[in-house]
Every structure is written in C-alpha cells, then in structure tokens.
Amino acid sequence: MRRVRPVRRYLDGWAERPVHPLVAGPPGGLSRAVVIPALAERDSLFTTLADLARQPHQELSETLVLVVVNNRRPPLEDPEAVRNNRETLEILESLIRGGKPGPGGAVPGKAAEGPVPSAADPAEGDASLRLAESLEVIRRSPLRLACLDASSPGCEIPDKDGVGLARKLGLDRALALLDPDRAEGGALVCLDADTRVDGCYLSAVGGFFDREEAPAAVIDFTHQEAGDPVLRRAILRYEIFLRAYVLGLRWAGSPYAFHTVGSTIACTGAAYAAVRGMSRRRAGEDFYFLNKLAKTGPVGRIGGTTVRPSPRPSLRVPFGTGRRMALVLSGEESAAGETYDPAVFGILRDGFALLEENPDRSGEDWLGRARRIHPVLAQFLEGQDFCRAWESIRRQAPGPAHLRRQFHGWFDAFRTLRAVHALRDGGLPNVPLLEGAGRLLEMAGRPPAAVPGDPGPGGDADAATLLAALREGEAAAGFHP
C-alpha cells in the first residue's frame, strides 16, 4: 500500500534531507517511533533507554527508538559536550550492532577491560555501575534502537539551530521508516534523554491512537523529585505554575488548554506531515509545534502512564524548566513564584462567550462588547487588527462550527498568551503562586482542601496539596481539553 498522501507529500517536499548518518537495525513492521534528542547526555540517556527496554515485547517489536546525538560545531559547543556525544554515539552504535559496550568502552561485568572507578570518587563509581546495569537491560531486550549522528565533524547542526532541529531531524527520518500501510501514517512520540517513563508507556500511547480519532495528544507528566531541597521546592512550584495556566485556559474555554512539555508530545504521522513537521526553533519548539497541531483537531490527553521529566537546572535555552531552575539556584529568581491573576482567565472566558452568544455579530460590535468586559481586551484586539480578521472569518465560514474553528485558529495559543500578558501588563499584575492557583481551582469548582496563601512554614505541604488537586482536575477533564 502506498503512503498516506500528506506523509508522502511532506517527505518529498518539506522533510530535512537525510544527510546525517543513521545506524539502525533491519526495517519493517514499525507502527510508531520514539525520538530522543541527546546533547551531552551520556550519563542519563541509557537510563531512559533502559526504561524503554522494559516495555512489553510486543510493543517493542513495533516501535523504533531513534536517538539524535547532536551539537553545534566548536567553539559554539563546549568541547566536553562534543566528547560526551562521541562516547554516546560509540555506545549506541555498539548496542545496535549487537556488541556489549560498557563504561569507557568496557564490557559490563569485565572491569579489567575499562577504567576502574576510584574508591575516592564514589559518585563516579555509582554512575559507572548505573550505566553498566542500564546497558545490560538494553542489550538483553528486543529494543529496536537507532541513532542519528548530528554531532561528528561535518555533521553538526547549523549554528543558529538547536533542539527544535534535532527533534525534526529525528522525527523526519523516523516518519520515513514507519510502515507506509499504517493508518494515519503511524505515530510519532517525543521524549527527552533525561526523562523517565513507566513500564506501560508504549502500551498507553499505542492504545490511545488505536481508540481515539485525534491528530495529537500530550502524555500525563510529573517532574522527578530533586535531591537539592531548594530545587525540590522550586520544581514543585514551577509545576503548579504550568498546571494553573492550563486550568485557567480550560476554564476560559480555550481549545489550547494543554501542556507544551516537549517530552510528552505524541501525534500521528499524517498530522505531523500536515503541519510541516516540528519547528526548528532553539527553544519553545514544543509550544509552536502543538499550536500547529491543535489547528488540525483537538489535542487529547494520554493517561494511564506518566512521563517524568528531569528538574535539573540548565542554561542551554532562554526559557523553560531548566532555565527556571538555574535562575532559582543562582538566586536571580524566587522559588516561591507568581502566577497570572485568575481574573485574566475570567476576562478571556467572557470574551469567548461573545462567540457563543452571537457568532454573526460584527467586528465593531464585538469590540464594543469587549471594551465593556475590560478595556485592555479591546485594546489588544484592536492592536491585532481583529475587525479585518473577523470579517474575513465570517465571509469564509459556512456555519457556526466552522466559524468557531476559524476564530480559534486566529486566536491561537500564541495570541492567547499575548492576550494574557497584555492583561497582566494592563492592570492585572501577577499574584502569589499558591494564592492564584487556589483561586483558580475554586473558580473551576475543584477547591483544594484549603486555599493557601504565601508559602511560609508548612508552605511545601500547601503546595503539595494544590499540585495534587490540579493533577486530579486534569485527570477528571478526560480526553478533550
């Protein structure tokens, strides 16, 4: 059977050229692929791969796990990161070809063939032991592993690119390797090299796309617990911030009420092709990719399993979890945190209600009513040239359902975030995190056991209560946001 038409068209015209060396086992029989970008991840990647290797054998037989080892060229990339990547590639290639690699090139269990960790450096010894154990799990499993070399001299990713291109290289190559007769072009799944997954991870992903007619979904997540107490407190509150924002959007009635965490994204091959693939951005690629996917259909939620991203600090990207944790540890940002005033989401809710009340109202009428909701909302819409956009949407929409889709295609995730920031900067400043999240839960009809105030003694208990309530609320929301 020939490939799904959008997939064939994408591979022919929009996919990255397959110029990076690929090492993989025999092709065929693949219904899905998990793509993992890796930059200096030798000490964490193989733990993640061992988690995947423990999945049910039937799921592994249909799944390709493709690691994209990537870096920019020196001196833009740290030489130590490049060396780490070279070692990672050597181990991956040995695994794929049936070898028995180990730390420093040693065969696990044969210490004489590799460096012996010093008793004076127990951390190094623990890391070597963990690596050896992970490699043995991978070697003994039917994991279908592949690696793409975007690291060696002449193969590096361009200077201006980063993780977005690394994901795209892997997803593009994986899409071409999936069986062409799979419905909707198979499934593509994003994961990160420092992220842990449950034993039912692949079963949950496969089951979702077997049951649901959805172009994309995000998998339930919770951050790993940090060892450092400051970092632990910070990641707890950062996750509350993420979930409060999604709850606010859901309560407001936005179709973009889903998390945009890169290691939780899954989509069909056809949907991936329809939006012309992953964004090449150095940061925020997950946000922009899901923003495009949501315009092709509802983004679902995959429950029954949990992805566990790392809370480690990182300055590789200008924003996101790693950057936030690094700023907290450096003292440049408070661990207590803030969130958007819940009133912001009430204004969005009232604005979206105008669409339901009378989808045929004129743009000027809409602006007048928006001005009565909040003057900043009207100012924002005017600044976005709303009237012209709205009249175009009205002319092209054959009915209310189509008009609603077209409106939210214009008022997309990016424009929604800009509206939230306009309201914040126009008189509704951020509020303390726990207070704001607690109020949002009350507004959504899911109050926690107690609505906390600013964190103080016992603040972590308050934060944990809030986070549990936010997670339960997402689980209760079901498939559609």
Residues 243, 240: Cα–Cα separation, whole Å: 5
Which of helix, strand or coil describes residue 64?
strand
Q: What is the DSSP string of 163-176?
A: HHHHHHHHHHHHHH
CB count within 10 Å of CB 205 equals 23
pLDDT at 321: 66
pTM, two decimal places:
0.90
Tell me whether residue 177 is exposed, middle or buried, using C-beta atoms within 10 angstroms of its C-beta: 0 to 12, 13 to 18, 19 or more: middle
Residue 29 DSSP label: -
Which of helix, strand or coil describes residue 99?
coil
pLDDT at 113: 36
In order along the chain (481 residues), what is the average pLDDT of each group of 10 residues?
A: 80 95 94 97 97 98 98 92 97 92 48 40 72 96 98 95 95 95 91 97 96 95 88 88 95 95 96 95 89 96 95 63 64 74 97 88 92 97 96 88 93 97 96 94 80 50 89 74 39
Task: Give the tokens for residue 436.
Answer: 């704001």
Task: Give the tokens for residue 307.
Answer: 């992805």
**DSSP run (H or E) holding 269:** helix 269-274
Residue 262 DSSP label: G
pLDDT at 315: 54
Question: Omega of the bond prior to 75 within 30 degrees of 0, cis?
Answer: yes
Cβ-contact 55, 202 below 8 angstroms: yes
Residues 144, 154: Cα–Cα separation, whole Å: 27
Q: What is the DSSP string of 379-447?
A: HHHHHTTHHHHHHHHHHH-SSHHHHHHHHHHHS-HHHHHHHHHHHHHTT---EEHHHHHHHHHHHTT--
pLDDT at 459: 58
Query: Between the CA of residue 146 and those of 91, 270, 370, what are the distances in Å?
Result: 12, 22, 53
pLDDT at 320: 64
pLDDT at 378: 97
pLDDT at 330: 63
Which of helix, strand or coil describes residue 71?
coil
Task: Give me the sign of the Cα torsion angle 100, 104, 108, 111.
Answer: positive
Of 182, 189, 175, 191, the closest CA to residue 210 belongs to: 182
Residues 192, 198: Cα–Cα separation, whole Å: 14
Q: Which residues of 375-389 are buried (b: 16+ CB within 10 A; e: fewer)?
A: ebbbbbbeebebbeb
Could you give the residue ranges of the DSSP H alpha helices within 275-341? 285-293, 321-330
Residues 270, 3: Cα–Cα separation, whole Å: 10
User: Residue 79: CB partners within 8 Å, gap ≥ 6?
Assistant: none
Residues 200, 306: Cα–Cα separation, whole Å: 9
